[in-house]
Structure formats: structure tokens, C-alpha cells
Structure 1
Amino acid sequence: MSEEEARVEIGELQQIAASEVKPEDVGTLTLEYREGQPVLTVSWGTAIPSGVPVLDESGQVVAVYETVPAPQTKALTMPSLMTGGVENINVMTYDFFGTPWAEKQVR
């Protein structure tokens, strides 16, 4: 396999052949739950497997989770909001130390 074949760009992910990954780059995956949803967290490295097999109690593969690029979020700008149908933006501010309802400034 040539180096060009080993490296395939997938969004911001870069797929590299397992034989090219340095041991110090291998990330540790941890499964945790956030708001009731399973989340894999990578730490101590930058390389993650392209597929993670799921085994049952007997060691048989029952599923494989594969990596896909994370969805990219766009920054909201006023023109994009207006194009999307936003007509008004209400801004509320509070002044806890001004008059007439705050008698004295607290320090």
C-alpha cells in the first residue's frame, strides 16, 4: 500500500494505516455517560481506531462502531439569522447598582 493510499482525508479526520501509528500517538478511549447518552472520550493520544468492535460476554463480535466526521457547526451571524427568518432580537440588561431601585452600591 502506498502512502497516498494509506492516508485518506475524511473531513478533519485523517485515516492512517494502523502500521503507521506510533505507540505514543495511540489514544485511550473511555466510555462514559453524559445526560444518559454514551460518549467515547479520547485521552493521552491523537490516534483513534477507525472501528471499535463490540463484544458480548462470550467474546463474539456483535457490532462495530465506525468513525465518521463530527458535524461542523457554523457561527451565527446577523445576516445568516436574518436569512433564516429572524426578524427581532430582544436584549435585556440589568443594572443592580443604578437608580432608582438600588439605594446604595454594595462593595
Structure 2
Amino acid sequence: MQQLSELKSAIVAFMPVVSEVATLQGSVAAFQGCLAEIDRLLSEGFCQDDLNVLSRAVPRVFWLHKEWTPELERMVDGRYREPWWFVAADKLHQRVQEAAEELKIVGRY
């Protein structure tokens, strides 16, 4: 149950960024579906197969590798930086993915 609660908390924290950024909005419905499934599992009970299915349903909005970075934004002073949404979303997305992976560990609930 703790892992489901952590995943729910992580998704809820991530949703404002996903909802606000046009390039991420395609994932809103999938995350909402995951939240609904978490609530269902918490109320009705679950087995390891249910957790595995939920874990696989959590969308990856970034398929990152160490060399990848989004297009940089130019600031008023002429310097470039990562977009605000990526800075905000990267750590939140990582938390969601880590919580989803925890569900795959047999017997951790």
C-alpha cells in the first residue's frame, strides 16, 4: 500500500506541470487513468499482477539518455537555458518513474 500511495503522491505532484506544458498534455489522460486505478486497487485490493500492470501503464514523458536535452530557451540577456518546464518536470518525472518501478518488486506491498 505504501508504494501505491507514493506513486499517487508523485503523480499528483507531477500533474500541474504535465497539464500546463503543451508538449506533455498528451499524457494527462494516462496519468488520470493511473490515479483512478490506484484508487480502485486501494479500495478493492490487489495482487502482484495488478501492480505490474499499473507500473507498465505509467507513461514515460521523457525517454532520456545522458546526452539528451530539450531545446534551450534564449533569455533576455542573450544566454540560453533549459526550459522552465523541463527543470520543473525532470525531477518530478523521475520520482513518478521510480515509484512505478517499485511496484514491480514482488512482496514489497
Which TM class, normalised by the smaller chain length? under 0.3
> Which has the larger share of helix?
2
> Which has the larger share of strand?
1
- When Rg is computed on C-alpha atoms for both structures, the one with the higher figure is 1
TM-score between the two structures when normalised by the length of structure 2: 0.19
